Amino acid sequence: MYSEMIGIVFMFTISLLLAIPLGKYMAKVYGGQPTRLNRVFNPLEKWLFGISNINPNTEMNWKQHMLAMMIINGVWIVLGMLILMNQSWLPLNPDKNPDMSAHLAFNTTISFVVNCNLQHYSGETGVSYLSQLFLQFLQFVSAATGMAAAVVLFKALKDRATHQLGNFYVYFVKSITRILLPISVVIAILFLFDGMPMGLEGKEQMVNLQGDTIQVSRGPVASFIPIKHLGTNGGGYFGSNSAHPLENPSYFSNMVAMIAQLLIPFSMIFAFGYFINRRKMSWMIFGVMTVGFLLLAIPNIVQEVNGNPAIAKMGIQQKLGAMEGKEMRIGAAASGFWSIVTTVISTGSVNAMHDSTMPMSGMNEMLAMMVNSFYGGCGVGLLNFFIFIILAVFISGLMVGRTPEFLGKKIEANEIKIAMLIALLHPFLILVGTALSSYLYVNNPEAYASWLNNPGFHGFSEMLYEYTSSAANNGSGFEGLGDNTLWWNISTGIVLILGRFLPIIGPIAIAGMLAAKKQIPESAGTLKTDTSTFGIMIFAVILIVTALSFFPSLALGPIAEYFTLY
């Protein structure tokens, strides 16, 4: 157990040590400053822009940014639906997997476009290799969309009184060519040496040692998994995601995947500080996020390592912890840690089945997504956190009787209204979805019997988790839920779209409005926003909003389950 704890500390430390220089590099990339890699990337990007008729020097205001983003995302949705609904006759389908139904294709496309990767299919039987390669494309571009949106925020908070916030396509393309793609290649090579498959042959049939005939699914796995984690997508190549021994062959690959998913969210925070020349701000943000992260992660590790009390009662030993739904090579400690990393960060990949984790672990996994801004997804984590910063600035301003200001810009009624709407949208989507589904189920339990895999409180948690995961664009699930039905595909699909684009547009609108305002010089009376006092203030705002919104629903699910078990 000792070496497992060391393993966890090691993963976190390496991620942080890599993220600081990467953040500096990213600030340079987005700031348009020359880097040593210019000679490689400049011609490639020039070619990409040339073919696409894009003038990279055109400046956009925040509305033009959002328009460009929405249009290109729309193109991906149309293309995705076309491919997934015709995959059976399109090339690269050696296993003869069937077309997706319209509602499943809708859900799958949306979910990959919005960086969520909620999967209501299993990779082995639900998609062709062509579709896998297309989903891999979406994993790159959805991450880059989030990063580009975050850079618009950086730019708005840096420049003084301006409407010109750079070019969306430039931020988007550079995120891929200079950050996501090169790092993915490095990670893929590490994975190949660890025995991850990469090929286009279909399922392999074999006779096992006992003489039974089985099949083994495979395919282009090693190119898919790096961006799945690096882009905080989390969509598994195989049905059981990173628990699958070909998708996550060893403790080493588990560490690499863990570092890969922490890397960009960490780096974005530091890139922000470098970009606006306030490095202390980065550390304040990182500090608040890390405190929140640890408060969720440590109880999970403890719970999972201690094992299931109901099984302890049967009189057997649980030296290795709660092993239902977990893999031996990863172990309970690293699985508990991963369950929080993947939920705070909106990756949503799983290396153990969350449905089988202990009640309080399940609650923390949901809480992580309900907050959705402790680190958060590629780019969008910082945008969500920005909303809480604005709210904290406003409340502190009222408490000390000063005009609320952030980075020398006055926060006024319009900004607060948007911030409040976005902060309330998240609980609205989650709770309304869960309430509607519960209503349907309770009134017709026989018709919807296939929905829930567990009775009682845990069954309710399965539905609550699904909407939480959708609204947070996370993509993990209490996978016992029978979710490939018209109701779940459509309802979560709608939650996914709203939960993605409104929380991007809202913060960018605020940032755009702030950018246009006159800079007020700092004085002795200015509220300092990069201090630990202000950090505590932000934390309190997050705590209050989350606790007030979600405590009742959590009490009906995991908390009630806890008291039946202990």
Partner 1 sequence: MKTHVFSAIKLTLVMLILLSGIYPLLIWGAAHLTPDKGQGKRIIANGQSYYKNIGQTFTQGQYFYSRPSAVSYNAAGSGGSNKGPANPDYLATVQARIDSFMVHNPGIHKKDIPAELVTASGSGLDPHISVEAATIQVKRISQIRNIPEANLNELIRKHTEQPMFGPSVINVLALNISLDQLK
Q: How far apart are CA 394 and CA 415, in angstroms?
A: 10
Provide the minimum distance between the beta carbon of 28 and partner 1 in the complex, in angstroms, as a whole number.
22
C-alpha 207, offset from chain centre:
39
Measured from the CB atom, the residue of 331 and 379 that comes closer to partner 1 is: 331
Q: Comparing C-alpha atoms, which of 361, 305, 377 is closest to residue 478?
A: 361
Q: Comparing C-alpha atoms, which of 348, 393, 358, 387 is closest to residue 534?
A: 393
Measured from the CB atom, the residue of 365 and 405 that comes closer to partner 1 is: 365
In this structure, what token pair is assigned to residue 496? 């996914």
CB atoms within 10 A of CB 524: 4
Measured from the CB atom, the residue of 7 and 507 that comes closer to partner 1 is: 7
Q: How far apart are CA 363 and CA 347, in angstroms?
A: 17
C-alpha 228, offset from chain centre:
10
Measured from the CB atom, the residue of 229 and 409 that comes closer to partner 1 is: 229
Provide the minimum distance between the beta carbon of 338 and partner 1 in the complex, in angstroms, as a whole number.
11
**Interior CA angle at 144 toward 142 and 150, to 5°?**
110
State the DSSP code for 557: I
Q: How far apart are CA 17 and CA 363, in angstroms?
A: 30
Measured from the CB atom, the residue of 68 and 502 that comes closer to partner 1 is: 68
Provide the minimum distance between the beta carbon of 111 and partner 1 in the complex, in angstroms, as a whole number.
18
Q: How far apart are CA 312 and CA 309, in angstroms?
A: 5
Provide the minimum distance between the beta carbon of 278 and partner 1 in the complex, in angstroms, as a whole number.
33
Measured from the CB atom, the residue of 136 and 492 that comes closer to partner 1 is: 136
Provide the minimum distance between the beta carbon of 62 and partner 1 in the complex, in angstroms, as a whole number.
15
Provide the minimum distance between the beta carbon of 328 and partner 1 in the complex, in angstroms, as a whole number.
4
Measured from the CB atom, the residue of 126 and 499 that comes closer to partner 1 is: 126
In this structure, what token pair is assigned to residue 3? 């070496």
Q: How far apart are CA 170 and CA 340, in angstroms?
A: 33
Identify any residues that bridge with 409 across adjacent strands, giving them in sequence order: 406
Provide the minimum distance between the beta carbon of 223 and partner 1 in the complex, in angstroms, as a whole number.
4
Beta-carbon contacts of residue 122 (< 8 Å; ≥ 6 apart): 238, 239
H helix intervals, 114-250: 123-126, 129-158, 168-174, 181-193, 221-230
State the DSSP code for 525: T
Measured from the CB atom, the residue of 455 and 521 that comes closer to partner 1 is: 455
Q: Comparing C-alpha atoms, which of 284, 266, 282, 285 is closest to residue 274?
A: 282
In this structure, what token pair is assigned to residue 177? 């060519």
Measured from the CB atom, the residue of 161 and 312 that comes closer to partner 1 is: 312
State the DSSP code for 175: I
Provide the minimum distance between the beta carbon of 136 and partner 1 in the complex, in angstroms, as a whole number.
6
Provide the minimum distance between the beta carbon of 359 and partner 1 in the complex, in angstroms, as a whole number.
7
